[in-house]
Amino acid sequence: MTDLTKLTIAQAREALKNKEFTAIELTQAYIKNMEAKRELNAFVCECSEKALEQAKLSQIKIENGTSGDLEGIPLGVKDLFCTKGIETTACSNFLKGFVPPYEATVTSKLLKAGANFIGKLNMDEFAMGGSNETSAFGPVVNPYSKDVKLVAGGSSGGSAAAVSANMCAGATGTDTGGSIRQPSAFCGVTGIKPTYGRCSRYGVIAFASSLDQAGPIAKDVRDCAIMLKNMAGYDAKDATSVKVEVPDFEKFLSGDIRGMKIGLPKEYRVDGLNEEVVAYWDKAAQMLKDRGAEIVEISLPHTKYALATYYIIAPAEASSNLARYDGLRYGNRVDGNSIDEMYINSRTQGFGKEVKRRIMVGTYVLSAGYYDAYFLKAQKVRRLIRDDFVKAFEKCDVILTPTSPVAAFPIGDKKMQEDPIAMWLNDIYTVSVSLAGLPAMSLPIGLNKDGLPLGMQIIGKAFDEQRVFEAASALEKQAGFEGVK
């Protein structure tokens, strides 16, 4: 019998309808894989019994002809989404033991479509990190690791690793500065950060409210289209949710991009950029050209300020959002001899090093005397970065860039551990997109000399995911990438 866990969501959905196997058999196959690959540390909470119960209900719906769009499909959920009755910790000691009494809008939409949640996925603590090493549950191991254990990327490292290793058919992720796209690139899978406001943030534990956006990580472009269609939509419970129509993204996967203009930003070709990354970038551009697209050079002049801008705005918003975790109103409490000591003890033991670092940076830039000097200036530069994209899209339909300047690196890499700025620099190609609130997809383009996947990023105009899917579908067809063997 075919290994059911190697099927895409689209293939499994069709096979379930044709009664080639049952939703119970599909779920059992994924549970078996999830248990066999625990050394990857992708899941922090396994929901096998609940998943099997849900699979039985899904099978009845399939047989009755009342199935939803994702009926019986086993998905993993990033531990940042509140799931009713299932522990949700944001992979922080501060929230260990927290079981939400409500469901996030995105996950409730997936459940309504018939999806089956088999577990909660590991991530960087409160989504702060680029390698999934800041998790209170320990780092996720990249499925492409051989002699040395490699990072899976962050913050959605558990989501990307679980999909790559066939431990779930697809997974939810969140992207604040690249946290869907970068781990997707590291693990050789496909992920899309939709336009800011496309998916509701209700029930998603906040990191940086003007940047956080939910999205899918899956095995291919079609699966991302299926998942995003069932995740997106206006939500009155989220003030940043936008009331726009959700198209059927699957309709945009013909691969016909004749006449489409693909922009290549000259500022992204920085000195010292990895030669293999440059080679694959050029190769990807040629692949799109071979399918009838036109390649044009564009300029994003304020790109050089994007990282600095992001690492002022994101920590500032994190500092504000995480103020509620004090051991009194919210989160686990560590007692002290006074209320101040209790606050200090609770936050000292509850938060990890990276979260503390970002809270300190954020509190500093919001403090009296520095708010105008840093935070307000960063917001002005953010507008300039957004305007750069608006002008660039006058010349092109989508933009093609590498997803990350590097491939996956070893867990505990000394340079990354000792110099947090070196870790932050891995976001160089993703943060500007987040600051502008634009949609962007990462998909695998090939393997480097060490056998590690490299990803390409396709950026679109606001709420124009259609063009992103069109270009990504064409590039995927040309690249013919195959995942972990």
Q: How far apart are CA 109 and CA 230, in angstroms?
A: 6
Tokens, residue 264: 């290549």
**Of these residues, 58, 92, 156, 179, which one is catalytic?**
179
Cα 481–Cα 18–Cα 1 angle in degrees, nearest 5: 60
**Of these residues, 37, 58, 67, 78, which one is catalytic?**
78
Q: How far apart are CA 101 and CA 301, in angstroms?
A: 47
Q: How far apart are CA 145 and CA 124, in angstroms?
A: 19
Tokens, residue 242: 């936008």
Q: What is the DSSP letter of 46?
A: E
Tokens, residue 363: 């509190």
**Of these residues, 155, 159, 184, 241, which one is catalytic?**
155
The alpha carbon of 349 is separated from its chain's Cα centroid by a whole number of angstroms, namely 27
Torsion of the alpha carbons at 378, 184, 154 and 50, rounded to the nearest 10: 120
For residue 262, what is the enclosing H or E element?
A: strand 261-265
The residue to which tokens 């190609």 are assigned? 429
Q: How far apart are CA 8 and CA 253, in angstroms?
A: 15
Q: What is the DSSP letter of 376?
A: I
Active site residue 78: yes
Q: Are 445 and 283 in contact (CB under 8 A)?
A: yes
For residue 75, what is the enclosing H or E element?
A: strand 74-78
Cα 107–Cα 161–Cα 179 angle in degrees, nearest 5: 65
Q: How far apart are CA 436 and CA 461, in angstroms?
A: 10
Tokens, residue 345: 């003890």
The SS3 assignment for 43 reads strand
| Residues involved in catalysis | 78, 155, 179
